[in-house]
Every structure is written in C-alpha cells, then in structure tokens.
Structure 1
Amino acid sequence: MTHTPINPTAIIPPNQPPIPPAPPTVPPAGWPPPTPTPGPIEVHVTLHPEPVPPEPSLWARLAEWLRRFGRPWQAAAALTAAVLPIPGTGYSAATTWAYTVELGRDLGPWQPYALGLLPLVAVLTRILRHGGTVRRLFLLVVTTAGGWAAVDPFDVVTILTGVTG
C-alpha cells in the first residue's frame, strides 16, 4: 500500500468561492435576551469540627433504659394495682399468682418453672416489642412474683438426684 498525500483540489474544486459563514442566530420576538457568560466563580469553604455531645451518665442511661418499659406513672399504677389487696380475698394479684405457682410444686420440680417463667417471658417479649402499658406492666409485676415463687434452691438437688424433701 502506497502512501499518497491528499490534494486539496480533489476535495474542493478549484475556482470555487469560499463558503460564507452561517448567519448569527436571532431569537424569536418575545424571548428574553441572552444572558452574558458568567465570570469566574469563587467558592470559600470553612470547616468547623462538629461538637461531640457528651456521653450520658450512668443514671441517664439507666433512666432511658427504664423508659423503654413505660412511663413512670404507668409503672407506679401497675405496681400499685398488682400489690393492693383484692377486696373480699385480702390478697393481692401478685401473691395469688405466686401461691398458684407454688402449688405446681406438688406436680414435680419442673412444673413451677414452666408455670411461673413462661408467662414472664411472654410478657417481657410483648413489652419490649410494643412498649409498656399499665396492663402489660401489671402483668409484668404479677408474673415476676410468680417467677420468684417458682425458684427453690432445693430444686437443684431434686433435679440432679431425684431425692425429694
């Protein structure tokens, strides 16, 4: 393949007048006049470190954690309702449930734990997922009393050896 230079007369015929430049574009009537091109734009940025909030104290963290369970007035109302004696019986709802759980001990060493701790876990799960109301906190107090009634130190001996007292 040979390399031949391109002759400009082969592209543009000789003795042709040059092509005139295109006329300037004029916007139609009623259009705003074109804006002049802006000059250089200067941007100044000043960076300030963002202040770090102080870490909350132990008491503030504890108070925030307790507020997950409910407001203080809800907790006070639920605790009061759970430990006040029921008219006619003389016992509160918490002590009645604790006595009922304790009766499960006649059936075997595992039954009080199931009867006392399963409702406690269910109430805690409900409170942590959906927040505390007076009714849920009332049930928490009552089932906590039942959970304490289910625990007996002698159960470890009974479960491991089968010896009953």
Structure 2
Amino acid sequence: MTPSEAHRDNPQADHPDADHPRGAPLPPGRRRPAPYPRGASRRRLRLHRRPRRRPHPRRRGTGPAAAPALVPQIHVHLVAPYYEEPEPTRRARLWAWITSIGRPWQIAAALGLAFAPIPVVGYSVATIWASGVTEARAEYGQANAYALALTPLAIAVMRIVQGGGTLRRLLLLAISLTGLMGAIDLYDPVTWITGVDPS
C-alpha cells in the first residue's frame, strides 16, 4: 500500500493531533492561554459574538382573537306621574267648534257685513233675504219657502266642509241662516205630525 492510498483510507493518520482530538497536550509547568488576549476589554470582544436570536413578534391577525370584554349595561326607566287632563268646559267646546269653521276675524267680518244696514235702504242683507223668504212662504206655500231658504244654506255648508271657511263662504252662511229663520214657523212641527194646517 502506497502512502497516498494509506492517507486516502485514513486521512487523520498524518494529522499531528490525531491522537489528541482536543489538541496537543501542553508541556508540564505551562498554563493554558487565556480565552482572550491580555489588554483587550471583554466588552470589545463581546461585540464579535454572534447575536442571540430573538423570537419574532406575533403578527396581528395570526393568533386567536381575544374575546371581547363584557361591558355591563344599565337601563334606567323614569316613570312620570300621570295626571288626567281636565274636561273642557262648554265655552271651550263652543269656541273650538266656532274656530273650526273659520278664523275669528273672518267670522266677525262676515257677521258684520251680513247684518250691517245698507246706507240707502236702511236694512241689512240678511234681513232683506229673510223678508223675501217670508213673502215666498205666504204666496207660494211652506214647501217652496223651505226650498228657497235651504238651497243657499246647503251650498255654503258644502263649500265650507270641502275647502274650509273663507270670508265669502261665511258671509253666505250667515245670510242663508237668517233667511231660514224667515221660512220657519213655530206651528210647522204640528202640521208635519198631525197634518193640520192653521190656515
């Protein structure tokens, strides 16, 4: 076997530290050298050390989601005392009904125009219409007088209900109501029930 073949089979045979894996033994009376040379600071040597691996911080969203904290809910219920509203008086009901027909100034203006006397004639429009209905009752009978008085009254009421009260409609209502008074006779209910005509 040639030396090259022996070296190929055992490459550690020619190594000087083959018998001593940790290195050659020191002669007696000699100390082992220090791990760092004298005069060098340990702090400077620590810079050449391999830095320690720090664990990677856990990325957001990768770990399990933390359970939401339970917030106590407090409900406060305030119970106010109940007071029944007093019932409206008759005056309040009457005023509410009158104002539902029209505005107060419109009602006052319509009544003033209906019952104000005409300067030349001396009579108001409402009284003239009432006297005309009374003459119609005397000349043409009870039925014709009621038909003449109720026709403008029905027109005025229908217009007010559909479109609300205006000055013209309230004026027509006041005149027609006065004319209805001229057509009514106190003996009419007796005639309707018994059929007896006082004439």
Assess same fold via TM > 0.5. yes
Unaligned runs of 5+ in 2: 1-58
> Where has structure 1 moved over 6 Å in runs of 4 or more?
none
Q: 1:45 & 1:104 partners in 2: Cα distance?
A: 75
Matched with 1:125 is 158
SS of residue paired to 1:114: helix
Q: Considering only aligned residues, what root-mean-square deviation do their CA atoms show, in Å?
A: 2.9
Is 1:76 matched with 2:105?
no
Are the aligned partners of 2:114 and 2:171 in contact in 1 as well (CA < 8 Å)?
A: yes
What's the CA shift string for 1:62-105, capped at 9, x where partnerless?
A: 22221101222211111110011223322211011112212221
Is 1:149 matched with 2:191?
no
Amino acid at match of 1:98: A
Q: How many correspondences in the alignment?
A: 136
Q: Which is higher, the Rg of structure 1 or of structure 2?
A: 2
1:86 to 114, 118, 124: 118
Amino acid at match of 1:120: L
Are the aligned partners of 2:142 and 2:183 in contact in 1 as well (CA < 8 Å)?
A: no
Matched with 2:40 is none
Give the Å deviation of 1:36.
Answer: 6.5
Is 1:54 matched with 2:97?
no
Matched with 1:65 is 97
Is 1:111 matched with 2:144?
yes
Q: Which has the higher contact order (CA 8 A, sep 6+)?
A: 1
Q: 2:152 & 2:81 partners in 1: Cα distance?
A: 47
1:37 to 44, 47, 68: 68
